[in-house]
Chain A
């Protein structure tokens, strides 16, 4: 038997698109996700994230492009085969409220045709720390606990090569979100391939190996640090007690320093080509000029800066 993990990516998407009538949900989306990778799919509300997940999980048919899911071509006739190899955690938990946690999982274990359902349910419950709630009706659980049941359901299928997590922390308080983050972190450490859609940038930054920014079309793709480097020049931030009389005399001509600008009364942002080379020279130049230095450090751009640069602030995707 061929081990798919050695023969290609877990997900391979090529110019995929979906239109509902005249409305474009997403288009021209291309990316690969490797086995064991945590891939973040970011974008504003209405950007097409959930629709992409639905297309890749065979719930809806793409109108253009192609994809391979767990090594299987995304075609209508392969729907069952693909769904056997994936797990999906939808944004809304969608639980049978009158049934207990264990009964909900039992139903889905039957749909995964698990050989040892009882064992797998126990394992999934342990992973989401819900063993002691197994016999409680889902309708009586808090939102955070329901989301954990939702995640446990996605973890049941031990044949799954890819787990799709659609906004797993949507509507959760910070403590519950952290619990979900820890669970995803645990999955990553076990080498599970995760496709995570979110609009929480700190979540993506913390959890994802690579991210894609979607706003109907793919705006960027790469590791968070790569995207930062690609979009923002490296800078050093210098703060002094008093303004430097002639900054050009201090910063001009230093190795690896490309330029500088004043950002406030006694704060300077120095553009550098290599901060490791530039920082010692800048420090020595400041000391030589007699400036009283409060701080000197590399400027950090967050994934949020990248997102805002590429997608824009307060953006909600506009149907095309």
Chain B
């Protein structure tokens, strides 16, 4: 096993163990998406068949707010949490590179976030199939919409994580970091609402362009956070 794999794996495993020992993290991660899911689900189930033809856009696109919001809240704990626990200094005196540390932290936030986002979407799809009028279900569960959910979820989650980690490296207080992380996810949540209500009309071209931009931003996010990761400031500053 290469040093990089070993380093990333060590931090990732540690993070997962901490999640498992701290159910409040997992329950918080699951509670917020429930709030996001309820509104579109009720809307889709309650919609009469006659209204299916008047549906503009994908009401379930709101669910993309989950990967925009949850990972950043989780990721904001990544570095400031280590600082507050006093574990950052021992961690940074090992041979781990900043890119490895950040990648491990990002993966540890990404995996449960994806599980929750995809899990919630699966629940909504199943409920729509079971309880919505068939005419409504056939409009809501079109393949392009499903593909968009599957593709955009990790792209948004990754960007959200880098924003969360960037906030985390600049914070000295966990609560402030998590509040800022939640705020950072709100613009994307707003965009999903605008798409859902067809205020922003998404064409296939716009979707591809948006996806490509997210992909670039995801890569750039890792680079920017790694470059601005300053060991000395993290160890010596108190504010």
**Residues of A with Cβ closer than 8 Å to B?**
20, 54, 57-61, 80, 83-84, 86-88, 90, 92-99, 103, 106-113, 137, 150, 153, 157
Of the listed stretches B11-19, B132-140, B165-173, B196-204, name the one at the interface; the rest are far from the partner chain.
B11-19
B97 in the interface, Cβ–Cβ < 8 Å? yes
Q: List 17 A-B contacts (CB under 8 A).
A: A83-B93, A83-B94, A86-B93, A87-B93, A90-B86, A96-B87, A98-B22, A106-B10, A107-B14, A108-B10, A108-B94, A111-B7, A111-B10, A113-B3, A137-B21, A153-B90, A157-B94
* Pair A96/B85 contact, Cβ less than 8 Å: yes
Q: Give the complex CA separation of A20 and B233 in angstroms.
A: 11
* Pair A110/B10 contact, Cβ less than 8 Å: yes
A195 to chain B: closest CB distance in Å?
Answer: 13
Residue of A nearest to B233 (CB): A60
A293 to chain B: closest CB distance in Å?
Answer: 57
Cβ of A80: which chain B residues have Cβ within 8 Å of it?
95, 97
* Pair B14/A99 contact, Cβ less than 8 Å: yes
Cβ of B87: which chain A residues have Cβ within 8 Å of it?
94-96
Partner of B89, one of A90, A111, A137: A90
Q: What sequence of 0s and 1s flags, for each residue 75-95 of chain B, a beta carbon within 8 Å of any chain A beta carbon?
A: 000000000011111111111
A128 to chain B: closest CB distance in Å?
Answer: 15
Residue of B nearest to A51 (CB): B236
B6 in the interface, Cβ–Cβ < 8 Å? yes
* Pair B231/A99 contact, Cβ less than 8 Å: no
Q: Add 18 more A-B contacts to A96-B18, A103-B17 (CB < 8 A).
A: A59-B92, A59-B235, A80-B95, A83-B95, A88-B89, A90-B93, A94-B85, A94-B90, A96-B87, A98-B22, A107-B13, A107-B14, A108-B94, A111-B6, A112-B94, A113-B1, A113-B7, A137-B21
* Pair A61/B90 contact, Cβ less than 8 Å: no
**Residues of B with Cβ closer than 8 Å to A?**
1, 3, 6-7, 9-11, 13-14, 17-18, 21-22, 85-97, 231-232, 235-236
Q: Give the complex CA separation of A61 and B236 in angstroms.
A: 11
* Pair A107/B95 contact, Cβ less than 8 Å: no
Cβ of A20: which chain B residues have Cβ within 8 Å of it?
236
Q: Give the complex CA separation of A59 and B233 in angstroms.
A: 9
* Pair A60/B232 contact, Cβ less than 8 Å: yes
* Pair B235/A88 contact, Cβ less than 8 Å: no
Cβ of A97: which chain B residues have Cβ within 8 Å of it?
85
* Pair A99/B235 contact, Cβ less than 8 Å: no
* Pair A94/B10 contact, Cβ less than 8 Å: no
* Pair B7/A99 contact, Cβ less than 8 Å: no
Partner of A110, one of B13, B17, B231: B13
A196 to chain B: closest CB distance in Å?
Answer: 16
* Pair A59/B89 contact, Cβ less than 8 Å: yes
Residue of B nearest to A81 (CB): B95
Q: Give the complex CA separation of A61 and B231 in angstroms.
A: 9
A156 to chain B: closest CB distance in Å?
Answer: 10
* Pair B86/A60 contact, Cβ less than 8 Å: no
* Pair B93/A57 contact, Cβ less than 8 Å: yes
Partner of B90, one of A58, A84, A103, A108: A108
* Pair B90/A90 contact, Cβ less than 8 Å: yes
Cβ of A84: which chain B residues have Cβ within 8 Å of it?
95
B148 to chain A: closest CB distance in Å?
Answer: 38
* Pair B236/A98 contact, Cβ less than 8 Å: no
Q: Give the complex CA separation of A99 and B13 in angstroms.
A: 11
* Pair B7/A94 contact, Cβ less than 8 Å: no
Q: Give the complex CA separation of A98 and B24 in angstroms.
A: 13
Cβ of B91: which chain A residues have Cβ within 8 Å of it?
111
Cβ of B10: which chain A residues have Cβ within 8 Å of it?
106-111
